Structure 1
Amino acid sequence: MTPEPDPAASRPQRFDRRLIAPMVVGSILNPINSSMLAVALIPIGAAFGVPPSDTAWLITGLYLATAVGQPVIGRLVDLYGPRPLYLIGTAVVGIAGLLGALAPTLGVLILSRVLLGFGTSAAYPASMSLIRSEADRTGMDTPAAILSSLSIANQVISVIGPTLGGLLIGLGGWHMIFTINVPLSILCLVLGSLWLPRSPRSRVTVRLDYAGIALFAGTLVSLMVFLMAPKASNWYLLMLGALLGVVFVVVQLRSVEPFIDLRVLGGNRPLIATYLRQVLAFTISYSFLYGFTQWLEEGRGLGASSAGLLLLPLSLSAVAITVITGRRAQVRGKLVAGSILLAVACVVPQFVGGETAIWLLALVGVIAGIPQGLNGLANQNALYHQADRARMGSSAGLLRTFMYLGALIAAAANAHFFQHGATTTGLHELALFLLVVAGLLVLVTLLDRSLAQIGRPQPN
């Protein structure tokens, strides 16, 4: 007798929505530490008696660590599953928060930011790996709403980050922006322990490419130290970075298990274009976040709390456009509009000064916020469709690496143009540099014809 089919077995499975909470909370750890710091750089500089060119290392320390940590941890996620890496990373965030809150010197504070960079590197590749595995488990395409929820969460943190940072500084000084990492870390550990699935133990012995990691880190550090102080006596650092970069490429091409699989990237031009758009877009975004905020405090004379509140229109507009466009699978229109609007946003600061009305400065933020919301989500969605499924964690980690490379370039640009303080002249010169970057972004976006295929309905 033929058994009756089980209705439950034929019922379409759905995405496990219990995963959303740990994914979202984990993914905000890096942006909240980025956005809160924007209003704390001037108070920290005053506390330690150092100029913006020195406090810029607080930005650089976090993003150097994250740029290296993201693809490393992403690769480990692919091999061992997201749960252990997520839990270890979020625990490190809590430890780094305590270290930063108690830091007696700027050097110790920079060290805490480095630890934060490594700790916050786990959640995003773990989340993208979970999304991919859920799509495979259910046999359904992952809803655009799930992907957009990560982007929206990051944008929301951009809303509350500077404002929250300003309020915390007003309540207890700049130390408070580090202390908040402790409860966030505990929350992630609880949510991750409860709801992240346990992956089966792998019997495959994996060898990390330590040489590749060291060469990649050495290349970044050498170039960043030069860019933070580009003078004739430091040219050897530029040459060292170039040499290490060449050796890195050779080693990766010869390695059986490379740190970054350049052979896969070499055959995936659409993914390379996505990474390039990411670094260009976030060079502008982070330059604006840190540069404009420092100018508001030093050049315009606002306090940390007031500067944080003035950034609300920027972040609210980014959130609004992400919510409006998040469910649309097509990405080309978003990226074209986002790149052009970023170019417009780079022109506007040329017309602001020490006497510019507050409402006009808020309008500048709105103009800069809209393209941030468009570009961040669209590049994430593009990667989801372009990356190899077996390497989703490491590919997603590499997307964040290129995002943080943009942040590193932004830190170097701010250190250069604000080496004598966050002046109006420095802001205008920074905006001109960013306009060139925006022009390159527009060009790369328009030339990438593969974007038109993403989200297009497939013929039956």
Structure 2
Amino acid sequence: MTDRTTVTRDATGTAGIDRRLIPPMMLGSVLNPINSTVIAVALVPIGAAFGAPPAQTAWLVSALYLATALGQPIVGRLIDIFGPRRLFLTSTSLVGVAGIVGTLAPNLAVLIGARVLLGFGTCAGYPAAMALLRSEAERTGKDSPAGLLTALAVANQTIAVIGPLLGGLLIGLGGWRSTFALNIPLAVVAVTLGALRLPKQPRTDATARGRVTAQIDLPGMALFAAMLFSLLLFLMNLHASTWYLPVIAVAAGAAFAVRELRAATPFIDLRVLSGNAPLLATYGRALVAYVVSYAFLYGFTQWTEESYGLDPFHAGLVQIPMFLVGIGVSVVAGRRRGVLGKLLLGGTGQIVACALMLTLTADSPLWTLLLLAVIFGVPQGSNNLALQNSVYFQSDPERTASSAGLLRTFAYLGSMVASSATAASFGQHAGTSGMHHLAWIMLGAGVLYLLITVLDGSLRRLAADPAEPARTA
């Protein structure tokens, strides 16, 4: 990497993180959550524009997560090998292209294609940020960048929760197409910051380039993609006629396992991963946490518009308490060591919120919707921070970016389950009975999240000394 001079110093005079890296890290990491959330209040207007029911507009959600779930660990592994700069600039440029395509889309199919581009375009931001944090920790000798991990979590959580309100404002000003046009200036700023501030990789000769290229496990990546693609397609369309998709997923998964166990430089080192039970448990928690989070974000928001009668702007406005509480929880929790308390708080908050959802009807007073948003703010702020910190300390330092990408992949698996559950619960109309059906699914996921946390003894060791990665050999 190139020399950097803009650094901070702590009280002892030790060099701190290069502050120039913070803006591109933050902006790159929030491109995905902003596109994940602004669409929540746009689904109903888009459906009205193209005459599409909720079961079809759900593909706007699923398409982005399908592309991102495939791309995050692959791009993360490439970042581990080549460094963050090239991947960040290439990937983020696609965000601007997707913004143009979505703004001009003549039909729902093209709009779904734009969401796929957005999924691939936002793949690099979060893994690049985690890789930069790791490299800065190694450069400065500080292996516990709690403040920056908290800032990263707060930035993502802020955008994730403020997104529906922003979407409502954009729709009110320029219609649903403005939610896609937003990506054009964001991409320009992100690419500019990345080009100016991200460190360049040193030049290498042909022999060195060959050694680096040899680390790319293309067959492993292809088998992983086939496995995940088949599984996600099945989750998006749970029907007996798609029985062959899980069969393909299992076959591709078996071939992937054989390949990775034999590869000299595997895409995902299954030997290390299988021996790292704490990290696997973290991935499992991420999956079920995002089932709850995104079922609420998309399913409940659609219900507030179609059955409760709110317009997109006010549907986003209702979620402001979740934004405020989530930020507050992240800031306060980020000052405390360990992750166990954060996970227990988040798990309990999910269960309470889902139970409250079961009591709501179209005649419920508005304050009950606001109370629900307040309660959901607790797990929104606590879970994201705890999961991110867990991966940072539990993962192999040489695979920080790909491990972070896998965290997002499991999270997107959860979001795909949430999308499928929302479509199945609502069908042609987002009614109250469908919302209650969805709330029962969310409650089951919340209980499972809490059980995984309570039964994971490694969290206590991680809480005792967060500077020590809780890995197993």
TM normalised by structure 2 equals 0.92
Bigger drift between 153-162 and 279-288 goes to: 153-162
Residue 111 of structure 1, CA deviation = 0.9
Alpha-carbon separation, structure 2, partners of 1:123 and 1:220? 21
Give distance in 2, aligned partners of 1:432 and 1:159: 22
What's the CA shift for 1:353?
0.6
1:67 aligns with 2:69: yes
For 2:317 and 2:385, how far apart are their aligned partners in 1? Answer: 24
Contact 2:232/2:413 (8 A) holds in 1: no
The yes-or-no answer on 1:128 pairing with 2:125 is no
Equivalent position of 2:406 in the other structure = 398
| Correspondent of 1:356 among 364, 377, 397 | 364
**Superposition pairs for residues 26-425 of structure 1, below 5 Å?**
26-201=28-203, 203=208, 204-207=211-214, 208-425=216-433
Distance 1:432 1:457, change over 3 A: closer
In 2 relative to 1, CA 382–425 (structure 1 residues): closer, same or farther, beyond 3 Å? same
Judge conservation of contact 1:331–1:451 (CA < 8 Å) in 2. yes
| CA distance, structure 2, for counterparts of residue 130 and residue 14 of structure 1 | 13
Q: What letter is aligned with 2:336?
A: R
The CA deviation at 1:457 is 4.7
Provide the rounded CA distance (Å) in 1 between the counterparts of 2:293 and 2:384: 10
Q: CA deviation at 1:455?
A: 4.4
Deviations 1:235-278 (A, max 9, x none): 22232333322322222222233332222210111111111111
Moved over 4 A (4+): none
Distance 2:218 2:375 in 1: 43
- Residue identity in the other structure for 1:97: G
Quote the offset at 1:396 in angstroms: 0.9
Letter in 2 for 1:433: I
Counterpart residue identity of residue 192, structure 1: G
Return the letter of the residue paired with 2:292: I
1-structure distance, mates of 2:445, 2:220: 29
CA deviation map 1:388-416 (0-9, x unaligned): 11111111111111111111111111111
The 1-side partners of 2:226 and 2:403 are apart by 21
Q: What is the CA–CA distance in structure 1 between the aligned matches of 2:109 and 2:143, rounded to whole Å?
A: 47
The more displaced of 219-228 and 285-294 is 219-228
1:107: Cα distance to partner? 1.0
User: Percent of pairs identical after alignment?
Assistant: 53
The runs of 5 or more residues in structure 2 that have no matched partner are: 1-8, 468-473
The answer to whether the 8 Å contact 1:224/1:412 transfers is no
* CA positional deviation for 1:93: 0.7
Contact 2:70/2:229 (<8 A) preserved: no
Judge conservation of contact 1:53–1:419 (CA < 8 Å) in 2. yes
- Check whether the contact 2:235–2:416 (CA below 8 A) recurs between aligned residues: no
Q: Structure 1 counterpart of 2:312, which letter?
A: A
* AA of the residue aligned to 1:213: M
Measured on the aligned residues, the alpha-carbon RMSD in Å equals: 1.7
Distance in 1, matches of 2:236 and 2:82, equals 37
Instruction: List alignment gaps of at least 5 residues for structure 1.
Output: 1-7
Is residue 2:451 matched to residue 1:446? no
Match for residue 21 of structure 2 among 2, 19, 22: 19
State the distance in 2 between where 1:226 and 1:141 align. Answer: 40
Aligned residue pairs: how many? 451
Tell me, in whole angstroms, the C-alpha distance in 1 between the residues paired with 2:148 and 2:21: 10
Amino acid in the other structure paired with 2:123: S
